[in-house]
Structure 1
Amino acid sequence: MAELSMNDHKRPFKDYQARHFKWSCSEDGRVATITLNRPEKKNPLTFDSYAELRDLFNNLKYASDVRTVVIRGEGGNFCSGGDVFEIIEPLTKMSMPELLEFTRMTGDLVKTMRRAPQPVIAAIDGFCAGAGAMVALAADFRLGTPETKTAYLFTRVGLAGADMGACGLLPRMIGQGRATELLMTGRVMSADEGRDWGFFSALHPSADLFAEADKLARNLADGPWFAHTMTKTMLNQEWAMGIEEMVESEAQAQAICMMTGDFRRAFEAFAAKQKPKFEGN
C-alpha cells in the first residue's frame, strides 16, 4: 500500500489554461504571472474575468508549484475597473438579488486573493482605477511607476466608496483621513502620494517595472515559502485581535515555523557560512 502524503491532494498549476486573461509561469512553476490583456480599453474586468480570477485564486491553495503570483496589465496600463458596457450598463437593468450576487462576487475576488497562501505582487503601470484599484489593494505588494495614476472612482458613477472592502482596506493602508478623501472625491492619487503614504512598496521606471516585479517574486519564491504563508495568514487574522490574542497567535505561528526543515536548514547554512536553500517545508 502506497504511503499517503498531505501533498497528494495538490496539483501543478504551471499549465493552467486561462480563458479571460493571460497566465504564464516560470520554468520551475514557482512564479506565476496573470496579465490582464484588453489593452484597447485599459484592461477592464468583465463578469467572466471576475469569476475566473476569483476561482483561480481560490484554487491556488491546492497548487504544488506556484509560490508567488504577479498580476499586471498589458499596454502600459494596469486595469480601468469594470467594463462600462459589459458590466456597468447591464447592472443598471438588474434586480436587487442579481445586483447583490454581483457585488458579492467582486468582493469574493478580494477575499480569495487575501486567503491565497502565495504572496501576490501587483505591478501597476499607467491607469489603475475602480475595481482595478481594489485588485491592487488586495495584493500583498504594490510596485508602481512615476506615471501610475490610482483612483477609486465609485462615487463618479453615483455609488458609495464602500466597494469590495475599500472602506476597511484602504484606511489601514494609507490612513483614515486620506482614504476618506480618495473614496469620497474619486480623485486620482499620484504615484508620489501612493509611495509616500505606503500604498506602493516602490516606484520604478516603466521600462523596469515588470522585471522588478519578477525579481521580487523570485526572491519570495526561493525564500522560506512556508514562513511567508504563515506571515500572510497572521497579517490577515490579527486585524480583529487584541494584544493578548496577537502575541499568543504569533507564539504559536513561530513555534510551528521552528518545526520546519527550513528553520533547521537556515541554521546549518549559517553555521557553515553558506546561503540557505529553502524548500518550503
Structure 2
Amino acid sequence: MSIADFDILKYLANIVDILLVWFVIYKLIAVIRGTKAVQLLKGIFMILIIKFISDYFGLITLSWIMGQAITWGFLAIIIIFQPELRRALEQLGRGHLFSRTGLQEEEEEERMVEAIIKSTDYMAKRRIGALISVEKETGMSDYIETGIQLNSRISSELLINIFIPNTPLHDGAVIIQKCSVAAAACYLPLSESPFISKELGTRHRAALGISEVTDSVTIVVSEETGNVSLTKNGELYRDLTKDKLRELLQNELVTPSKTKQTTLARWSWMGRGQKNG
C-alpha cells in the first residue's frame, strides 16, 4: 500500500469519526428534547459564555466562580439529568436509541391517536369523565411527578380502565409522553381566564390551564354531557365529532415520515405528468 493510499484511508477514517460523533450528539439531543434538560443545557451554555467573557475582560472573581461551576458541573449534570440519562440507557439497552426511524415513530403516533379516539368514543357514549394530555415539545415532567407513574404501553383498554369511576386512578389527568402512558391521577394547573364559560367544569379548566403553559394537546370527555373537547395553545374546541377529533389529533400529533412524504410527492408528480400528457 502506497503512502497516498494510506493518507486517503486516514482522511476517510477522520470523516467517519466526525460523522459518528455528530450522529451520537444528534441522538442524545433527540432523547432529551421536550424535557427540562433542554432548559438546563441553555443554562450550561450561559455559564460557558460568562466564563469566556470574564476571562477576556480579566474579571478574576467572576472567572473563578464560573471555573468552579464548570469543575463541579459534571457531577451536577449526572444528578440533574438523572431521569434523562436513565431513559437513554434504557433505550440503548433495548436497542432503540439508534434504531428508531421516522416510519416507526409515525406508526407509534398513529397507534396512539387511534387508542385515544377509541377510548374517548367509548367513554363519551357512557358519560365517563376523562382528561388526557399528550406531551409535545415542552416537557411535562413536573406534572407527571404529581401523579402515579405507569410508563405503560398505550392502549384504548388501559385508558378506559383508568377513568372508570371509583377506581384509584380515575381522579386526575393521564399524561402521555413519547407515545406511552407516563402517569395517571396527575394534577394540572387550572386556567384563571375570566372568559371561560361558567358551564365548564374543573376538567375543562385544567385542560385550558395546561395548554396555556405548555404546547401539549389535551382531550376532555365531559361527565355531564358526554361531549368531547380538545385544547391547545390556550384554545378550546368543543363538541367534537369522532372524525373531527381524529383530524385534529392527526394534524397535531402525527409527523409524516420522510419516506411517506417522498412517496406521496413522487405519485403526485407522476399524476401531474400523466395529466399533462
- TM-score in terms of structure 1 length: 0.25
More helix per residue: 1 or 2? 2
- TM-score in terms of structure 2 length: 0.26
Structure number with bigger Rg: 2
